[in-house]
Every structure is written in C-alpha cells, then in structure tokens.
C-alpha cells in the first residue's frame, strides 16, 4: 500500500490521519514488489544450498529481477535447477516477510559475515545501480523470512523493502532465466560476482506470455539476423562495440539516412559537419569533462615540442567526441546572429565515441562508435513552446515513415546532484515540457532524476511489432550551454540576448535504430529498405534473357533488382531468396514469356501469376514509393 504517498508493507501501522492507497500486484509498483520479493527468495535458496555464498544486491528490473552472489564456484545450469527447487519449497511454506529497523551497529553485527552488505551499510541514505533497494531510505532495515506458525527465523537480508506479506503470494508465475558475470557495483575495478536473473508475473499465464515473447525476440535478435542476412559484423581486430556494415547493410543504412535527410531539409534544417576529435578545452567549456568524463575515451596528448629534455611547447589533450552539441555551438558563434535567423536548426549525421563498459555492449543497440542523427535548434524564449511542439510532430511523422506508429512519452526531470543551472531555469523548462507532453494526448510516464546535466527532456518511446518498447527520439531543453558558450543574437529591439537551445535526436543513433528496425521487421524490411528488392528467377535457362530484360527495366528506374542466373534448380533458388527475405521474386516461364508477363512470389509463399510486365513494374515502384510492407499478393 501507499501511505501518504510512500510505499509501505501491508503490516505497516496506520493512524486515522493517514491517506492510504492500495497497490495491486499487476501495477508497476506491485510488479516491482513481487519481483523484489522473488529476488529475496532466490538469495535464501542459494544460501540454503551454499551457506558460504556471499550476498550482493537483488533489485527488480524491467520484466524481472536479479541477485548478485560471490560463490566459491560459478553457477551451472544444474545448480540453477536445484535453486529453483529450493525456491519452490520456500514459496509453498508461506514464510512471512518481517521488517526490522536496526542501528548501523546492529546491522554490522548481524551481517558481519557479509562483506558486500557491510560496504552498503556505509551508503545509508542512497545508492546507485540497484543499491537503493538495500539502503535507499533514511534508516537501515533488515527483512527476515519467518515461519508463519512458529516464528522461527529462516533467513534475513539488509533491505529497504517493501515486500509481499508472505512468500506464498509469489505464486507460480516465476522462473529463473540465466546466470552471468557482473562486477560489484558495476565497476570493473571491483570483484566480479555471479548474477542470477529471474522473472516473476502475477500468474502462470502471464509468465507463459512473456516466455513466448522472449522466444519470438530470440528469433528476431538483430545480431543473429545481421549474420544470416550478411548485413554487419564486429571484427575482433577492430575492437568491442565497433561495427562495420557490409554492402547489404550499407544499402539499408543509406536508405534510412536518405529518408531522414529528405525529411530534415523539408522541415527547414540546415546540414552541417564537424570533426571526430577536438581539444579538451571544448569539453571543459561544455562541462562534459566535469559530468561525462567516465563515458569518454581517454585523452590523447599531442602537439608537444621537445628539444632534448626541454619542453619547448607543451602539448594538449585531444578527445574523441562523445557529443556533437559543443561543435554546433561554435558554428552558431562563428558570426553575428540576428533574431530573424531563429529558429536556427542545425542537423548532422555526426559520429561520436563513448567508452561503454564491455559488459554493457549489446550488438548495434549499445556500441562504442555510433552515428547520431543529431540536431540543435536555437530559438528565442517566445519560440520555445511552438518549436518543441513542432519537433514532436516532426518526430511522430518521421517515425511513422519507418513503420513505427505506437508511442508514449517519458519526461525526465532534474537530478539536483548532477546538474548545472538555476532552480528557476529548471522549473520553467520542466513545466513547459510537462504541458507540451500532456497536450500531445499520448501517455506520459515520469522519469524523476533522469535528465541530462544541462536540462530536462521528453523521450519518445515506441512499441515494436512484438510489443517491446524502445527509447527512440529525445527533445531536450537547455538554458545552460548558450550561457557557457556565451551565445548571443541581436534582438528586434537592438539588444543582445541569449538563445535557448533544444537538443533533438530523432533516431538516437543510426546503429541502434538499424538494430531496432531489423528486429521490428524480423529482417523482412519493407520494400524501400530491403537490400535487394527484386530477384528474377527463370523457370529454365532459356527464359533468363526475357526475365533479364524485365530486371534491366527495373534497374533503370532505380530498383535494386538482380537476375539469379545460377545453376541451381528453380525450387532451390526460391528457397534461397525467401530465406534472404527478398520482397519480390519475379518468375517467368513459357506462358509468362508468351503473354509478355511475369509471376510474383512473395515472402510468405503466396503468388500472383501472369501480371503484364508494365503493370508489374508500376506496382513495384508504387510499393517502394509508398514505403509499403508487401508480404502477400496485392488485391486486384
């Protein structure tokens, strides 16, 4: 339940003055409590089997939970099965979760054999990376698992809570998923622990639905499809998180960029280019070296002039850029600006580099080198609201062009410990974004403390074909960088004023969006994006010249078409190109050639026979122009 707005256990004592709200198991808060309770049962089961395993943390996460351990030996699949059996026993017992407030001295005494818990005790008042489930409150608490009848204490853990009343309420909608290595508190400087992942849902049916979704997601995994369809790779010789795009992947990427570039120009953007590297002074001015240095590649010290042992000219630190915005500020500042130029919309497909930890890299969706479709819009104070509304509409329209049409919004607000600028600026910016997001009519989810250091943001979250959500576009309001870079424009009254800056990334990064689209379409890209749009498959060799004439007609109209003139038999050719997810296979035999026609075979195996060549060409061109996803025969 929520008591006066705070989550509490159902056993929490109440007064007549308290405002109490129920928390249901299927609500976001309820799911977190269910999953965190399951994480405690997991930890109890592990220590029942292996009492020497040391405890890390066990927070709820999206769609599940995990718990970190320091065991003598790594967990094996057989070990996970034994843990699951133990968990089932604990759940059936209906052990009560009982909260106890303890002093720091009591906590240290009771958890003296748990070194990782002792470290967390010193963080009372807050922690990161899931540690708030342990010590996030103003007091220290320990939760005990107690026999409901005898009061016997089976197990206990340092925890903030709240929890379910008892383990039986976890039910049978849970499963252990896998184990993996994880660094303690997310730092490679710390010991490597063993992490067990699990999932928990209010019912067995919901668990099965989730597992089915995971199976479908595995089929759509962009890393698997990228290899099967020969789109991209991550050569070991280049380094982790650095992708190369093969010819077919390069076609898809180029089409993605061309479409967005066309949209940008139509929306009044001006395209710019900036270098990949800069002196460190630029990022000192922008404050990135204060707030983002851990996410940057180390400095390269260059330009020093040394004569023997004497430094004639000191060198300077250069950095690979993690962001494009400071460069765009310099473009704005390169000459005098007038209010008549605003809004000034600068856009760039700018490659940036971020030193993501190796354990967080995930194919194209988390890389170290990426190309952002970055834009920065400079506006007057009076233009801010209208421009942000316009940007959101631009985002929705463009994403629909890629085939994504179901969205909700997330509003990320200030983290007072990790931000620059005045309270008044932040309050004004947050209120404005809140109002605009509400007026959009889309669902709005709060993300407290999730803003960048320079300003709040609206994120557009999109649902894909199997119901997963992806954070895509962001619109961030920034009062601070114009101040840091001393940007000015001449106002209508002749005075000098600061512009306000809007950061806008529509796709996020080309690499990540490529991976998202690949999974959304399960590799079967719509015709306009498909690397090969049409393949001609002659029934026999004598029909190849006739079909090649059709292919040449398509090529002359800009269609990516080719003739399969290999020695393979026709059924094998059809299987090969179906597996490659080619949208259209054009087949021609004696009847087709006699009638001046072709037959279509679609990706799902359906066919449309005897279509005149001119009509076939027109339909293919129409499908490309309309961004149509064609899997079946067109209706007549």
Q: Which of 44, 47, 372, 476 is catalytic?
A: 372
Q: For the chain, give the number of residues.
A: 636
Residues contacting residue 478 through CB under 8 Å, at least 6 positions apart: 454, 455, 500, 501, 502, 503
Q: Which of 157, 374, 478, 592 is catalytic?
A: 374
**Distance from C-alpha of 134 to C-alpha of 155, rounded to nearest angstrom:** 16
pLDDT at 628: 66
| End-to-end CA gap in the chain | 59
**Cα 303 to the chain's mean position, in Å?**
38
**Distance from C-alpha of 482 to C-alpha of 487, rounded to nearest angstrom:** 5
Q: Is 222 a catalytic residue?
A: no
Q: Which of 321, 325, 476, 520 is catalytic?
A: 325
pLDDT at 126: 47
Q: Is 503 a catalytic residue?
A: yes
pLDDT at 508: 87
pLDDT at 132: 60
> At the top level of CATH, which class does the domain 2-216 belong to?
alpha beta
Q: What is the pTM of this model?
A: 0.82
Per-residue burial over 326-344, b if 16 or more Cβ lie within 10 Å, else e, is bbbbebbeeeebebeebbb
Is the separation of the CB atoms in 15 and 31 below 8 Å? Answer: no
**Distance from C-alpha of 7 to C-alpha of 163, rounded to nearest angstrom:** 10
pLDDT at 476: 92
Question: Which two tokens mark 4?
Answer: 């006066």
At residue 560's C-alpha, the angle toward residues 472 and 553, to 5°, is 145
Alpha-carbon separation of residue 264 from 128, 398, 491, 582, 584 (angstroms): 39, 9, 26, 29, 30
For residue 388, the number of C-alpha atoms closer than 13 Å in the C-beta half-sphere is 31
CB atoms within 10 A of CB 116: 21
Fold that domain 232-520 belongs to in CATH: BirA Bifunctional Protein; domain 2 (3.30.930)
> Which letter does DSSP use for residue 443 in this model?
-
Is the separation of the CB atoms in 451 and 413 below 8 Å? Answer: yes
Residues of the chain with pLDDT under 50: 125-127, 635-636
512 SS3 class:
helix
Is the separation of the CB atoms in 68 and 58 below 8 Å? Answer: yes
Question: Which two tokens mark 421?
Answer: 């600028």
Name the phi and psi angles at 332, rounded to 5.
-60, -40
- For 122-186, the three-class secondary structure string (H helix, E strand, C coil) is CCCCCCCCCCHHHHCCCCEEEEEEECCCCCCEEEEEECCCCCCCEHHHHCCCEEEEEEEEEEHHH
Q: Which of 54, 163, 457, 504 is catalytic?
A: 457
Per-residue burial over 403-424, b if 16 or more Cβ lie within 10 Å, else e, is bbeebbbbbbbbeeeebbbeee
pLDDT at 134: 66
| Homologous superfamily, domain 534-625 | Anticodon-binding domain (3.40.50.800)
Is the separation of the CB atoms in 523 and 227 below 8 Å? Answer: no
Q: Which of 503, 512, 560, 603 is catalytic?
A: 503
**Distance from C-alpha of 83 to C-alpha of 90, rounded to nearest angstrom:** 11
Closest to 193 (Cα-Cα) out of 46, 358, 60, 53: 53
pLDDT digits (tens, 9 = 90+) for 514-536: 999 999 999 999 999 999 999 99
Is the separation of the CB atoms in 586 and 534 below 8 Å? Answer: yes
Q: Is 374 a catalytic residue?
A: yes
Q: Is 389 a catalytic residue?
A: no
pLDDT at 424: 87
Cis peptide bond N-terminal to 162, omega within 30: yes
Strand pairing report for 20-21 and 2-3: antiparallel
Place of tokens 């999109």: 462
Alpha helices in 51-111, H assignment, sequence order: 77-93, 104-110
375 SS3 class:
strand
pLDDT digits (tens, 9 = 90+) for 186-203: 887 899 999 999 999 999
The dihedral built from the CA positions of residue 397, 403, 408 and 411, taken in this order, carries a sign that is negative
280 SS3 class:
helix
Q: Strand locations in 201-239, DSSP E?
A: 232-233
Q: Is 569 a catalytic residue?
A: no
Residues contacting residue 608 through CB under 8 Å, at least 6 positions apart: 599, 600, 602, 633, 634
Is the separation of the CB atoms in 344 and 474 below 8 Å? Answer: no
Is the separation of the CB atoms in 356 and 366 below 8 Å? Answer: yes
**Distance from C-alpha of 398 to C-alpha of 259, rounded to nearest angstrom:** 9
**Distance from C-alpha of 237 to C-alpha of 69, rounded to nearest angstrom:** 34
Domain parsing of the chain, residue ranges: 2-216, 232-520, 534-625
């Amino acid at each position: 339940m929520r008591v006066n707005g705070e989550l509490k256990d159902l056993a929490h004592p109440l007064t007549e003055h308290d405002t109490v709200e129920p928390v249901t198991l299927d609500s976001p808060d309820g799911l977190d409590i269910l999953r965190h309770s399951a994480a405690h049962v997991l930890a109890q089961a592990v220590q029942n089997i292996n009492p020497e395993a040391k405890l890390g943390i066990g927070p709820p996460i999206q769609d599940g939970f995990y718990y970190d351990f320091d065991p003598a030996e790594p967990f094996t699949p057989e070990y996970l099965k034994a843990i699951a059996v133990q968990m089932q026993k604990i759940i059936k017992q209906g052990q009560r979760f009982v909260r106890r407030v303890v002093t720091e001295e009591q906590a240290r005494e009771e958890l003296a054999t748990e070194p990782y818990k002792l470290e967390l005790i010193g963080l009372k008042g807050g922690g990161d990376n899931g540690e708030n489930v342990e010590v996030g409150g103003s007091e220290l608490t320990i939760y005990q698992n107690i026999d409901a009848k005898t009061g016997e204490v089976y197990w206990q853990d340092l925890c903030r809570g709240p929890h379910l009343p008892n383990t039986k309420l976890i039910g049978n909608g849970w499963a252990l998923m896998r184990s993996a290595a994880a660094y303690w508190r997310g730092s490679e400087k710390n010991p490597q622990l063993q992490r067990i992942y699990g999932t928990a849902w209010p019912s067995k049916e919901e668990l099965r639905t989730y597992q089915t979704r995971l199976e479908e997601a595995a089929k759509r995994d962009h890393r698997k499809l990228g290899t099967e369809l020969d789109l991209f790779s991550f050569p070991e010789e280049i380094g982790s998180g650095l992708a190369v795009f093969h010819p077919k992947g390069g076609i898809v990427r180029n089409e993605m960029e061309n479409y967005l570039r066309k949209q940008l120009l139509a929306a009044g953007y001006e395209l710019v280019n900036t270098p990949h590297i800069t002196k460190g002074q630029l990022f000192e001015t922008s404050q990135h070296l204060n707030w983002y240095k851990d996410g940057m590649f180390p400095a390269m010290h260059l330009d020093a002039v040394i004569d023997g042992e004497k430094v004639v000219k000191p060198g300077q630190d250069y950095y690979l850029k993690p962001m494009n915005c400071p460069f765009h500020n310099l473009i704005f500042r390169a000459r005098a600006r007038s209010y008549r130029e605003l809004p000034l919309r600068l856009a760039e497909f700018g490659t940036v580099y971020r030193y993501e930890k190796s354990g967080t890299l995930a194919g194209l969706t988390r890389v170290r080198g990426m190309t952002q479709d970055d834009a920065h819009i400079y506006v007057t104070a009076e233009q801010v609201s209208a421009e942000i509304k316009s940007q959101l509409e631009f985002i929705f329209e463009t994403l629909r062009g890629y085939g994504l049409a179901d969205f909700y919004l997330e509003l990320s607000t200030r983290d007072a410990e990790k931000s620059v600028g005045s309270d008044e600026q932040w309050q004004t910016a947050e209120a404005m974004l809140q109002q605009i997001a509400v007026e959009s009519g889309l669902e709005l989810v709060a993300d407290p403390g999730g803003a960048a250091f320079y300003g709040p943001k609206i994120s557009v979250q999109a649902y894909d074909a199997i119901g997963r959500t992806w954070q895509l576009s962001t619109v961030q309001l920034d009062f601070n960088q114009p101040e840091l870079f001393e940007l000015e424009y001449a106002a209508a009254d002749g005075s000098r004023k600061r512009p306000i800056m809007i950061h806008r990334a529509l796709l996020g990064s080309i690499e990540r969006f490529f991976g998202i689209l690949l999974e959304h379409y399960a590799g079967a890209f719509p015709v306009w994006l498909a690397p090969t749009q049409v393949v001609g498959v002659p029934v026999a060799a004598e029909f190849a010249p006739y079909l090649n004439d059709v292919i040449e007609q398509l090529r002359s109209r800009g269609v990516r078409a080719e003739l399969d003139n290999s020695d393979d038999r026709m059924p094998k050719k059809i299987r090969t190109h179906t597996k490659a997810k080619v949208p259209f296979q054009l087949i021609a035999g004696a009847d087709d050639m006699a009638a001046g026609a072709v037959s279509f075979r679609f990706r799902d195996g359906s066919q449309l026979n005897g279509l005149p060549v001119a009509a076939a060409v027109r339909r293919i061109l129409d499908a490309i122009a309309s961004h149509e996803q064609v899997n079946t025969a067109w209706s007549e």
